[in-house]
Structure 1
Amino acid sequence: MAQPSTPAQAPQSPATAGSLGGAVFALVLVVGLILLLSWLARRMPGLGAGGGGAGSALRIVGSLALGPRDRLVVVEVGETQLLLGVGSGGTRTLHTLEQPLPEAAAKSTPAFAQLLAQHFGKKP
């Protein structure tokens, strides 16, 4: 007696089944890696966008070049202004200003130099 024949199902191509699962896995892996790296960048100081943005309490009021590598810089930290010497040997605090320099000092370098000279009682 002959057995009833059932229509043969076409076997799925292993290339489509395996490659679809592999592509989904690779996509999830890449997206997870991007999210992990962005989380790490926000946690590490100096890498993210938060280092020195608009909400920062640190800002440069003005600077004056003394030579090719040396500068005088007035930095505002909160309500305090510091005169810093920046050069190849590093950065040093030269003076803490008792009266903050006006905002006009940041706009032009000659005015900044004149304000510093006036502050220290020297004539430019």
Structure 2
Amino acid sequence: MKRLLGGLLAFPFSVLAAEPVVTATTAAAPVVGSGIGGQLTQLVLGLLLVLGLIFGLAWLLRRVQHAGPRQGQVIELISSRALGARDRLVLVQVGNEQILLGLTPGRITPLHVLKEPVTLPTTPQPATPEFAKRLLELMGNQKDKP
């Protein structure tokens, strides 16, 4: 990986080092595409090459980061609740214990160690019919108003 990255970084410098030799041998020959169109084409192709390299390296980095095994995870996030713009309550499970943590921008505080683990419901609870009726009433009232 380091060898590939080093080769990609050294490539532009090797092209620059070889440029005087190429221009010295072709100095007598007329230069094709030296106008504005040739320069613009060279600029666009260079930009596409750099953008392709950036996206390719980002894709490769994502693939390498997710390649590790996930079986050995000891800490699991059970639930999280926002208390404010930057404060949160987080319930984590470490082994057989569940710990309630308070998170602020500069601090993580253990608030409580639960004696009995909290179980989450597996199916979401459906909305009550009263709520659906009230919502339809409110939506109907909004249509009547100009």
State the TM-score, normalizing by the size of structure 1. Answer: 0.43
Q: Return the structure number with greater helix share.
A: 2
Computing the radius of gyration over CA atoms, which structure comes out larger, 1 or 2? 1
Q: Which has the higher contact order (CA 8 A, sep 6+)?
A: 1
